[in-house]
Amino acid sequence: MDFSSKKIKLTNKKKVAVVGGGLVGGLNACFLAKRGFEVTVFESREDIRCAKTIKGKSINLALSHRGRQALKHVGMEDKIVSNGIPMHARMIHSVNGKCSPIPYGRKGQYILSVGRANLNKELLTAAEAYPNTQLNFNHKLLDWNPETGTMTFLGPDGTEKDFQADLIVGCDGAFSATRKQFLRRSRFDYSQTYIPHGYLELTMPPRNGDFAMKPNFLHIWPRNTFMMIALPNMDKTFTCTLFMPFEEFEKITTGDELMAHFQKYFQDSIPLFGVDVLKRDFFQLPAQAMVSVKCSPHHLNEKCILMGDAAHAVVPFYGQGMNAGFEDCLVFDEILDQFNEDLSAVLPEYSRVRVPDDHAICDLAMYNYIEMRAHVNSRYFLFRKYLDNVLHFFMPRTIIPLYTMVTFTRTRYHEAVIRWKWQNKVITQGLLLLGTMSAAGATYLLVKYIPQKSTGSVEQLWNKLLTLKWFQK
Amino acid sequence: MDFSSKKIKLTNKKKVAVVGGGLVGGLNACFLAKRGFEVTVFESREDIRCAKTIKGKSINLALSHRGRQALKHVGMEDKIVSNGIPMHARMIHSVNGKCSPIPYGRKGQYILSVGRANLNKELLTAAEAYPNTQLNFNHKLLDWNPETGTMTFLGPDGTEKDFQADLIVGCDGAFSATRKQFLRRSRFDYSQTYIPHGYLELTMPPRNGDFAMKPNFLHIWPRNTFMMIALPNMDKTFTCTLFMPFEEFEKITTGDELMAHFQKYFQDSIPLFGVDVLKRDFFQLPAQAMVSVKCSPHHLNEKCILMGDAAHAVVPFYGQGMNAGFEDCLVFDEILDQFNEDLSAVLPEYSRVRVPDDHAICDLAMYNYIEMRAHVNSRYFLFRKYLDNVLHFFMPRTIIPLYTMVTFTRTRYHEAVIRWKWQNKVITQGLLLLGTMSAAGATYLLVKYIPQKSTGSVEQLWNKLLTLKWFQK
């Protein structure tokens, strides 16, 4: 097979193979093509733009600052943003159907609900528009040689073909075929951890031609051991994702069991789905597993680099999977500039810089896996979210909520974690001090201004305070 | 190829394939054969008993209680123990050449230095003595089918052969080929972590026909960032292992650099090695990497179970790698009894019981990786070792040193860790209380019995106490 059918004008430019034509592969092709490299993309599935049904994962995407900055660099931010729906706050649905919003950041700060399929199509079309880019679909990577950069693919006609690249960019997802060669090397650290929860998607149809719920929110039904979320789509539907331990999923085998479960935990959503839709969607597919992948280093020799899920699959609870992958492309681009495209320097530097950040976002996503379904039910957590935002308002440079650093800035992930721990220490100590002083002050005032004989009332007052619902949570 | 060349009399007995003819594979073959199963062992290398040179790892082995209990079960304990050298204590070599012993446990408790090659040979010979066991060497596992149990091997004649088993027992080490099929399944947790240290072996020859150092000790030269250990062999040599960060190894490229390093850190060992031996051994092979592997579950369907390093490779700093692997065989045997050899119940139960213990020993070995080279230089650590032993003497059921639980009992590894943390809490709190009381008491006595005008001397005394060397360490 002839990969050079499209004639490239550039000479002496590096030949780069991008493995994977998903979101990160598509964007990376744009970055590398913009730089003038000779880019060839190999995707194992068919062209998503021609596909009748789209297989694979579809957990909704929340585009935020890091992803937008990367898109901006290849001139695609506006187009993608115009096809997204701003979400300014979480909308918490309590068991009794009460809804309370928790803003994501300051006024005007929001994340964007974007459709994976459309975004993927746009990226592939943009990559293909560069004359020095060629896309190959139905090409499955079988193996590659870390010394020579020779790759072997199984093509659409069922025969094996070789391709030679100066640089291989592995963007082929959590179960990366590119990564297999890394695993054969000594001193490559690797971990894959499945969480006990599975997920399942349900579609909430429009209601009287409009969104069934307020659209500019990420709706959350936190239920401690499990949770449901809903993100708005451009067609006025919501994609709802139910996260539950696999054992819980296994317990629900009939329509009646399903309805009983929803009656108990997600009652307000039933009329919005409609019983028929709910039963149809729930039993359509089995619950899917979620995996967290970490590895180090991200490069092999001067030949190969891993990005996106191939380097750091995260659980989907911080809305940073795509954003981290897009930022990978941007960071790599920055380092290419810094080292004048000398791959022997660029690749180790990328691992040095990016590994701690990618590990940090894996850990943060795992942390939020607990926070999202459990902590948002705690009054102290809500108070702390509120306090963090207030402190941020008055001291915007000193106290920055973790979520803000992760979502609305390009603060390096691992630095955000360090800063967050420091802030927590300061705020907790401040609260303790304030609490102690208030208690002392209150006691002083009570003792001073209440007649001596009614000393008992001080105790009564404290007891009354302590029985308040707030303290019991 | 005909695997049934040796006629088996037993009928209706399970066909078990043991992958790997190393220590754990050899012992497991004995266990399974003793039970009457039809056992076939497949080892990828040649028969170690006929090999001219023995390749692969050789870090010395310290046999302790768990390993001995497993050997005892197949009637091999006495034979192996008689070929081992008891080590009653660590012998700490300080930089200035001073030697101080730290006992491993109570009087009479010891670990055994055993040679890997001899032990492996004995186990294979013992396995082969069972009429229902067949050993195959130079058989490399290519793949196997988790539904049917069909395995494909590359045989010594270079052709592929299939073998069908009811149960596949993967004992094929840290880079297990059996495990690959696990990694293709969803919800299999796996991690491999390389430590920054490499290791290199040096041989200390006999001196005037006898051991060059006291034989009944595990000699340790702890030097914080690196360390050397030495274990005695039956031929009156010592096998010394040098553990250093790879960067440090890379700095030593000439004989002079090597001698300067040894002069500085291991001076007392130079005359014992001899300069020529040292230079020859050091530059013979590059430093080897060490990996820690964890995974879960340890079984796949009712078809396959992983044991030994294939399930839990540990760094070699607790002397438990082989012991944990041998105990795996014993635990599996106990569960086979418990569930009447019903593999559909035995395999999940083995994972349920054994995974937490195997994870615990991985973590403990990693913890000792720091303790052995650094903490043994700290006076507080030595004091605590001493205190633990004293408390154990007076309260043998309440306070059991961690090392004792791990090395001289079959206390489940994860329970030993829980108990150790509890004991540490109790002892630390006790020490704090004792310290506070002593300080208060001492101050009281000083103030009471020293004339009022010389109050300054109390302060002087405290200052003097605080400048004592002990506190500065």
SS3 annotation, chain A: CCCCCCCCCCCCCCEEEEECCCHHHHHHHHHHHHCCCEEEEECCCCCCCCCCCCCCCCCCEEECHHHHHHHHHCCCHHHHHHCCEEECEEEEECCCCCEEEEECCCCCCCEEEECHHHHHHHHHHHHHCCCCEEEECCCEEEEECCCCCEEEEECCCCCEEEEECCEEEECCCCCCCCHHHHHCCCCCEEEEEEEEEEEEEEEECCECCECCCCCCEEEEEEECCEEEEEEECCCCCEEEEEEEEHHHHHHCCCHHHHHHHHHHHCHHHHHHHCHHHHHHHHCCCCCEEEEEEEEECCEECCCEEECCHHHHCCCCCCCCHHHHHHHHHHHHHHHHHHCCCCHHHHHHHHHHHHHHHHHHHHHHHHHHHHHHHCHHHCHHHHHHHHHHHHHHHHCCCCCCCHHHHHHHCCCCHHHHHHHHHHHHHHHHHHHHHHHHHHHHHHHHHHHHHCCHHHCHHHHHHHHHHHHCHHHHC
Interface contact flag, B191 A194, Cβ < 8 Å: no
Specify whether B229 is located in the same domain as B262.
Answer: yes
Give me the mean pLDDT over the B28-33 stretch: 98
pLDDT digits (tens, 9 = 90+) for B332-384: 999 999 999 999 999 999 999 999 999 999 999 999 888 777 666 677 777 87
* pLDDT over 50 at A389, yes or no: yes
Q: Identify whether A100 is part of a domain.
A: no
Q: Could you say which of A265, A289, A313 is where a domain stops?
A: A289
Domain harbouring A345, CATH code: 3.50.50.60
Specify whether A266 is located in the same domain as A168.
Answer: no
A-interface mutation test, from B57, B182, B191, most A Cβ less than 10 A away: B191
Chain B: nearest CA to A78, how far in angstroms? 38
Which residues on B lie below 8 Å from A289 (Cβ)? 186-187
Interface contact flag, B189 A189, Cβ < 8 Å: no
Specify whether B75 is located in the same domain as B149.
Answer: yes
Specify whether A248 is located in the same domain as A297.
Answer: no
Q: Could you say which of B289, B324, B349 is where a domain stops?
A: B289
Range of the domain at B137: 15-84+112-192+291-372
Chain B: nearest CA to A240, how far in angstroms? 23
Specify whether B72 is located in the same domain as B155.
Answer: yes
Chain B: nearest CA to A235, how far in angstroms? 33
ipTM, 2 decimals? 0.83
Q: What is the mean pLDDT of chain B?
A: 90
Specify whether B359 is located in the same domain as B246.
Answer: no
Q: Shortest CB distance from B194 goes to which of A189, A192, A289?
A: A189
pLDDT score of A451: 59
Specify whether B186 is located in the same domain as B315.
Answer: yes
Q: Identify whether A108 is part of a domain.
A: no
* pLDDT over 60 at A276, yes or no: yes
B-interface mutation test, from A57, A184, A194, A250, most B Cβ less than 10 A away: A194
Q: Identify whether A227 is part of a domain.
A: yes
Specify whether B283 is located in the same domain as B320.
Answer: no
Specify whether A32 is located in the same domain as A173.
Answer: yes
Specify whether B143 is located in the same domain as B20.
Answer: yes
* pLDDT over 70 at A54, yes or no: no
* CB–CB contacts below 8 A, A to B: 28
pLDDT digits (tens, 9 = 90+) for B186-222: 999 999 999 999 999 999 999 999 999 999 999 999 9
Q: How far is residue B280 from each of residues A399, B36, B255, B277, B284, measured CA to CA in Å?
A: 60, 49, 9, 5, 6
Q: Identify whether A92 is part of a domain.
A: no
Residues of chain A in Cβ contact (below 8 Å) with chain B: 186-194, 289
Q: Identify whether A380 is part of a domain.
A: no
pLDDT score of B383: 80
Specify whether B422 is located in the same domain as B301.
Answer: no
Q: Could you say which of A250, A272, A289 is where a domain stops?
A: A289
Which residues on A lie below 8 Å from B192 (Cβ)? 188-191
Give me the mean pLDDT over the A96-111 stretch: 92
Interface contact flag, A186 B192, Cβ < 8 Å: no
The more confidently predicted of residues B466 and A268 is A268
Specify whether A226 is located in the same domain as A337.
Answer: no
pLDDT score of A8: 42
Chain B: nearest CA to A461, how far in angstroms? 36
Q: Is the dihedral of CA B253, B315, B143, B141 positive or negative?
A: positive
Q: Shortest CB distance from B191 goes to which of A187, A190, A289?
A: A190
Count how many domains chain A has.
3
Q: Identify whether B394 is part of a domain.
A: no
pLDDT score of B346: 98
Q: Identify whether B336 is part of a domain.
A: yes
Interface contact flag, A189 B190, Cβ < 8 Å: no
Which residues on A lie below 8 Å from B194 (Cβ)? 186-189
Chain A: nearest CA to B60, how far in angstroms? 22
Chain B: residue nearest A191 by CA? B191
Interface contact flag, A191 B186, Cβ < 8 Å: no
pLDDT digits (tens, 9 = 90+) for B394-409: 888 888 889 999 999 9
Q: Identify whether A152 is part of a domain.
A: yes
